[in-house]
Amino acid sequence: MEQFLKDYLGDCKYTHLSKCEFQGSYIRVNNPQLFIADPGDEFPVKIVTNQEEYQLTVENPNSVDLCVVKTDNCLFNDDIQKSDCIVFNDTNFYLVEIKENSSGNRNKKRNKAVEQLSSTLEALINAGVNLSNHDVKAIICFSRSDNYPIRASANSQRANFQSKFNASLEEGNTIIM
Amino acid sequence: MISKLLVKNFGPIEFVDLDLRNVNVFIGPQASGKSALAKLLTILKAPRKFLKTQKLGSPVNDSKIISFIEALEDYNISSFLKKDTEIIFSSELHDVKYSNGQLDYTPKLLQKIDTIEELNLNFADNKNALILLIKEITDKFIFINFKVQDILDKTDKNTFNPKSAQYLSKENTAHIIEVLRKTEMDLSTNTALYIPAERSFINIIKNSSLNLLLNKVPIPKHILAFGAEVEKSVIHEIDLSFLHENLKYKSVNGEDRIFTTNEHSIKLIEAASGIQSVLPILIPVLNHYGSTGHRSFVIEEPELNLFPLAQYELIKKLESTRREAYWEDFGSIHTYTTHSPYILSALNNLLFANKVILTGNHSLFRKDERLSFEQHNEIKDTVSKIVSSNIHPNSFTAYQICNGRAESILDEESGLIKNNYIDEASDSLADDFDALLNLNKQWSNS
């Protein structure tokens, strides 16, 4: 899949400006647990230690090879609305949009995240990326997830993702590979 | 069935233009005007109820306005009228327009019936025109259609058709006119029922009505009218197991009782508030389900006093007993006003159930299979094991009313409910919890 994505979408579009520890868009890891942070301010996501501030935990209990793709401000250039990162292995393909929720406006941020995840999936499909052999999930990551009370529109958005992209739309801050 | 309601400058409403179908939902904050719209809809759906003292076809006059204002008073919304209020209701049956302090009532079906009567005076010359007019009506009114067919050709149990049209005579046209007038009168007068939020009150006043009358206790007329409707019902038993196992309502010798087991029962007024709130909804709705004809039920806040799952079960029960109003004289219309995320999500589940049934049908088409009746039923049964009812998005509208305006919250593309005030409210709660967590973190680390 990594080669496939590189063929269709290339690599980091900001290499000349990058101050990232990992220069490319694709980070290969097999740690049993990963912590991902979105630094904001037009920087791409980065892998951090659990002593630092992070929003997303990736559980990889079997320590399989997986790839974290920095998408926003890295793989994609600014004219495409996109999610923050993709985490995939041979069977799972998870797109993640991280939203900081300490400043409120969760509803607006969720709807924005749905748009970003949707347009990232559209961009991948339009680029010819074949996701049919993967379990595809689009994940909205708030640092504190909250699924109560029920929201009709959130269910509608899940139904739309399933019918448009054959992908599950979820909300959470931990993904299990 | 489609009707339209346009309201300008009425109470908190500045301007709304609603396209209404067989299931309608109004949401919005307190005092946004959603109940006022629902009450207007009830009044205008059956305008002859308040215009019954009027001579039809008479020119616009003061008494028409007075009776309209009285109808608004009955529903406690007369003070919402302003100098520049404009209200327009339009349906296949009639149009009502209130503007510049004047009320115009155009009974469209009645006008057609009058034309038929006029043409029948010279039947021989007008037979073709009469057939065309009768066809125009029978295409939209199915029970009228059956009755017309029965008058013309008792041997053919079909609907009105070119063959039966040939049997039209001056005499049976007169008979048809009689049927038309009776149906039209009933549809224009008795089709709408407002089920108020105060519905459980009628259980309490039922046995003290004489005392209340004697002491001239001012009870809003629409609540009394609703109570009278419930009393007229012929429903004697309702399964309430969706609220609690084995729960049943029975009318025993005119007394309303709730049975918790076959042997043990209590008076309705002693029962839980949820039961007292649900029964006045179910009684008129189920009463109509067992009869023919058309009815429009406006149900104010169906969620009252109900546990979330019971709200869901109530919506499923109500929608599974709703027959689609494909024709103007058949089935029922449900209009809900709600503040509940559970009611909204319940309706969304029913919309999605319909969509899943269609997906199931299409999946068989894709396999180049001809979809048999049995296969279609199998798909429906599989879905109904999860959700016992479904709603076609073409029969559904949902509006949020706020700041004097109405906005559709039905996503046209997906046929599902999109982002709305109720869902935003859920997120506001989460926002506050997040803010508290931040403070807690900040202070515990300082």
**What is the tens place of the pLDDT at every residue in B251-271?**
888 888 999 988 899 988 888
- Indicate yes or no: CB of B341 within 8 angstroms of CB of A150: yes
Domain range enclosing B127: 109-188
B370 lies in some domain: yes
Verify that B211 and B175 share a domain, yes or no. no
Question: Which of B127, B159, B188 is the last residue in one of the domains?
Answer: B188
pLDDT surpasses 60 at B44: yes
- Answer with the residue of higher pLDDT: B443 or B381: B381
Q: What is the pLDDT of residues B355-383, one digit of tens each?
A: 999 998 888 777 766 778 888 889 999 99
Verify that B340 and B224 share a domain, yes or no. yes
pLDDT at res. A8: 81
- Indicate yes or no: CB of B427 within 8 angstroms of CB of A160: no
Whole-angstrom distance, CA of residue B249 vs CA of residue B287: 14
- Indicate yes or no: CB of B345 within 8 angstroms of CB of A152: yes
Q: Please state the ipTM of this predicted complex.
A: 0.73
Average pLDDT over residues B14-30: 96
Using CB atoms, pick whichever of B352, B417, B431 lies closest to residue A153: B417
Whole-angstrom distance, CA of residue A166 vs CA of residue A132: 9
* Minimum distance, in Å, between the CA of residue B408 and any CA atom of chain A: 13
Q: Which chain B residues are within 8 Å of A156, Cβ to Cβ?
A: 348, 352, 411, 414, 416-418
Q: Which chain B residues are within 8 Å of A115, Cβ to Cβ?
A: none
Cβ atoms of residues A152 and B408 within 8 Å: no
B155 lies in some domain: yes
- Mean pLDDT estimate for chain A: 87
Interface size, chain A vs chain B, as Cβ–Cβ contacts under 8 Å: 80
Structure confidence at residue B204 as a pLDDT band (50, 70, 90): confident
B446 lies in some domain: no
Q: Which two tokens stand for residue A129?
A: 């990326």
B7 lies in some domain: no
- Indicate yes or no: CB of A104 within 8 angstroms of CB of B435: yes
Judge whether A145 is closer than 8 Å to chain B, CB to CB. Answer: no
B304 lies in some domain: yes
Verify that B283 and B386 share a domain, yes or no. yes
Verify that B293 and B359 share a domain, yes or no. yes
Average pLDDT over residues B104-123: 95
pLDDT surpasses 90 at B216: no
Number of domains in chain B: 2
Please provide the size of chain B in residues.
446
Judge whether B277 is closer than 8 Å to chain A, CB to CB. Answer: no
* Minimum distance, in Å, between the CA of residue A59 and any CA atom of chain B: 24
Cβ atoms of residues B401 and B33 within 8 Å: yes
pLDDT at res. B108: 95
Cβ atoms of residues A32 and A59 within 8 Å: yes
- Mean pLDDT estimate for chain B: 90
Q: Which two tokens stand for residue B349?
A: 């589940």
Q: List own/partner pairs for B409-414 with CB under 8 A and 24 or more apart.
A: B409/A153, B409/B27, B411/A156, B414/A156, B414/A159, B414/A160, B414/A163, B414/B355
Verify that B155 and B224 share a domain, yes or no. no
- Indicate yes or no: CB of B341 within 8 angstroms of CB of A152: yes
pLDDT surpasses 90 at A76: no
CB within 8 A of A3, min separation 6: which ones? none
- Indicate yes or no: CB of A151 within 8 angstroms of CB of B427: yes
pLDDT surpasses 70 at A143: yes
Interface probe with B: pick from A55, A106, A145, A163, most Cβ of B within 10 Å: A106
pLDDT surpasses 80 at B215: no
- Answer with the residue of higher pLDDT: B231 or B178: B178
Whole-angstrom distance, CA of residue A120 vs CA of residue B158: 56
- Indicate yes or no: CB of B352 within 8 angstroms of CB of A151: no
Interface probe with B: pick from A55, A114, A143, A153, most Cβ of B within 10 Å: A153
pLDDT surpasses 70 at A147: no
A149 prior amide bond cis, ω within 30: yes
Structure confidence at residue B207 as a pLDDT band (50, 70, 90): low
Verify that B215 and B351 share a domain, yes or no. yes
B172 lies in some domain: yes
Cβ atoms of residues B104 and B89 within 8 Å: no
Cβ atoms of residues B247 and B260 within 8 Å: yes
Average pLDDT over residues A25-29: 90
- Closest Cα in chain A to B418: A153
CB within 8 A of B436, min separation 6: which ones? none
Whole-angstrom distance, CA of residue A24 vs CA of residue A44: 11
Structure confidence at residue B202 as a pLDDT band (50, 70, 90): confident
Verify that B323 and B371 share a domain, yes or no. yes
3-state secondary structure of A176: strand
Verify that B217 and B341 share a domain, yes or no. yes
Verify that B204 and B312 share a domain, yes or no. yes
Whole-angstrom distance, CA of residue B82 vs CA of residue B72: 13
pLDDT surpasses 90 at B349: yes
Instruction: Give bridge partners of residue A68 from the DSSP assignment.
Output: A27, A87
Verify that B204 and B353 share a domain, yes or no. yes
Cβ atoms of residues B51 and B33 within 8 Å: no
Q: What are phi and psi of B417, to 5 degrees?
A: -80, 130
Using CB atoms, pick whichever of B342, B418, B433 lies closest to residue A156: B418
Q: Which two tokens stand for residue B46?
A: 């059956």
- Indicate yes or no: CB of A102 within 8 angstroms of CB of B411: no
B324 lies in some domain: yes
Say which DSSP state B395 is in. G
Verify that B223 and B360 share a domain, yes or no. yes
pLDDT surpasses 70 at B128: yes
B440 lies in some domain: no
Judge whether B315 is closer than 8 Å to chain A, CB to CB. Answer: no
Please provide the distance, in angstroms rounded to a whole number, between the alpha carbons at the two ends of chain B.
Answer: 64
What is the DSSP annotation of B329-342? TSEEEEEEEE--HH
* Minimum distance, in Å, between the CA of residue B297 and any CA atom of chain A: 23
- Answer with the residue of higher pLDDT: B372 or B24: B24
Nearest to B398, CA basis, from B430, B423, B426: B423
Judge whether A64 is closer than 8 Å to chain B, CB to CB. Answer: no
- Indicate yes or no: CB of A153 within 8 angstroms of CB of B426: no
CA B290, B291, B293, B296 torsion: positive or negative? Answer: negative
β-pair type (A92-99, A135-142) = parallel
CB within 8 A of B434, min separation 6: which ones? A101, A102, A104, A106, A144
Verify that B366 and B223 share a domain, yes or no. yes
* Minimum distance, in Å, between the CA of residue A52 and any CA atom of chain B: 15
pLDDT surpasses 70 at B338: yes
